[in-house]
Amino acid sequence: MKILSVQSLAIPDVKVVRFARFRDDRGFFTETFRRSDLAADANLKKYAGMTFVQGNESYSRKNVCRGLHFQWNPYMGKLVRTVHGHMIDLVLDIRKGSATIGKIIAYNMPFSIDAAYDEWIWVPPGFAHGNFFVEDTQIEYLCSGEYSPGCEAGISPLSLDLDWSLCDDSLRELFEKVVVKEGILSQKDRDGVSLKQWLADTRSDNFKFGTC
């Protein structure tokens, strides 16, 4: 895996890992994941001991929104990439004691067959994760914890008390256009709790800055 760069987003614990494609007249080859290369990168030292134990794939139609999901016991970090289509990834800080708690950011992740690189976004434990799609899209994600149905919850992406102040303005506007006006959501996600309701829930104490 040839890592080209590791970028910290507006919430610094959220990272974008860009890795190379090797192109010739036949097409391209890329090594999408190698644990030792991720562990050796100085920008990812904090997560060097992370082991990915579950791989997931999903397909979403245009205007679908998923999330905002999170899990504890075990915690689940996610390494996510677009396989085909166009995903906008959403990340919400739910860590009590964090300077950015309640703030949500978005990252634009279109697939391009012609690009010289591909990207993962790393969403650590302590964040609620979701995404929306501006065209039919297939994504892949690697998880640092196995799915635990008794220890999961979700905050509605439509919750009015999310703080978008760190989010790119154009992506916030796209969210309003695609999700708020035309979004296709599961009933579970649409009816998810607000941020305020979640933080008043005793289970939210599982997510504290510096411990998860």
Catalytic residue among 69, 75, 107, 129: 69
Give the C-alpha separation, 58 to 107, whole Å. Answer: 18
Q: What is the CATH number of domain 3-206?
A: 2.60.120.10
Question: Do residues 129 and 51 make contact, with C-beta atoms less than 8 angstroms apart?
Answer: no
86 is catalytic: no
Query: What are the domain boundaries of the chain?
Result: 3-206
Mean pLDDT per block of 10 residues along the chain (212 residues) reads: 96 97 95 92 86 96 98 96 98 98 98 96 97 98 95 97 98 97 95 97 96 86
59 is catalytic: no
Catalytic residue among 86, 129, 141, 147: 141
The whole-number pLDDT of residue 22 equals: 97
The C-alpha R_g of the chain, in whole angstroms, comes to: 17
Q: What pTM was computed for the model?
A: 0.95
- Residue 195 phi/psi, 5° resolution? -60, -45
Question: Do residues 69 and 152 make contact, with C-beta atoms less than 8 angstroms apart?
Answer: yes
Question: Do residues 103 and 163 make contact, with C-beta atoms less than 8 angstroms apart?
Answer: yes
